[in-house]
């Protein structure tokens, strides 16, 4: 596995080594030792999710209260998605910036987002299947969203699918009425860099 830290500190792109033959392909998409070397702590798996999305579907920008937050280790088993991490940590030098990784069934990369970051993706193919390992279970009362088309964040969403056909963002009703980054900050919904650092310190012992 190769780990590459993204421009949003703490988030990583993971590229696995694939072993193929006429029967198919085998790979390790998560391995605890190299993960701990990169993140500085073990991954505490509490829940595993799967979503299937049509081309153009956008999910996010989602995040959870810290502590404990919700770290995610994400890959795309079928199809392709542009997976986006957004720095929403108030006080972070890179607050409001984003980075993205193409997750697909060719390179079979994964992305890791620690607690305190926002997560979103756009499906680039019908039936794109995304798998998430999560460090905390679903808890509606402490989970929030930011509008994925917020111009302040300025995510450069694709306009064409993997087959070259045009696509437009399709949002859930919940994501369509999510606040902007500025509104979420004014409402006190965003985690602070200080709180995130303090929580991550407990994971590192």
C-alpha dihedral (7, 150, 192, 85), degrees to nearest 10:
-30
Residues pairing with 12 in the sheet: 5, 112
Contact 181, 153 (CB under 8 A): yes
Active site annotation includes 62: yes
> Per the residue annotation, which of 3, 73, 112, 132 is the catalytic one?
132
Could you tell me which of 182, 187, 198 has the C-alpha nearest to residue 88?
Answer: 182
Active site annotation includes 3: no
Q: Are strands 110-113 and 72-78 parallel, antiparallel or unpaired?
A: antiparallel
Contact 71, 35 (CB under 8 A): no
Buried b (16+ CB within 10 A) or exposed e, 114-151: bbbbbbbbbbbbeebbbbbbbbbeeeeeeebbbbbbbe
> Per the residue annotation, which of 62, 119, 144, 147 is the catalytic one?
62
Active site residues: 62, 132
């Amino acid at each position: 596995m190769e780990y590459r830290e993204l421009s949003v500190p703490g988030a990583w792109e993971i590229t696995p080594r694939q072993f193929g033959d006429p029967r198919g392909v085998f790979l390790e998409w998560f391995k605890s030792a190299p993960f701990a070397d990169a993140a500085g702590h073990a991954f505490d798996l509490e829940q595993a999710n799967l979503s299937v999305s049509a081309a153009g579907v956008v999910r996010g920008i989602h995040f959870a209260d810290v502590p404990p937050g919700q770290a995610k280790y994400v890959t795309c088993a079928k199809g392709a998605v542009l997976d986006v991490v957004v720095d929403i940590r108030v006080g972070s030098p890179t607050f409001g910036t984003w980075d993205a990784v193409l997750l697909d069934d060719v390179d079979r990369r994964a992305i890791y987002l620690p607690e305190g970051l926002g997560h979103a993706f756009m499906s680039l193919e019908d039936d794109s299947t995304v798998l998430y390992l999560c460090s905390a279970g679903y808890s509606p009362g402490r989970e929030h969203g930011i509008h994925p088309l917020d111009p302040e964040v300025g995510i450069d969403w694709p306009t064409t699918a993997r087959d070259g056909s045009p696509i437009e963002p399709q949002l859930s009703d919940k994501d369509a009425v999510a606040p902007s980054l500025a509104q979420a900050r004014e409402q006190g919904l965003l985690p602070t860099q200080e709180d995130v650092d303090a929580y991550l310190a407990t994971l590192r012992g």
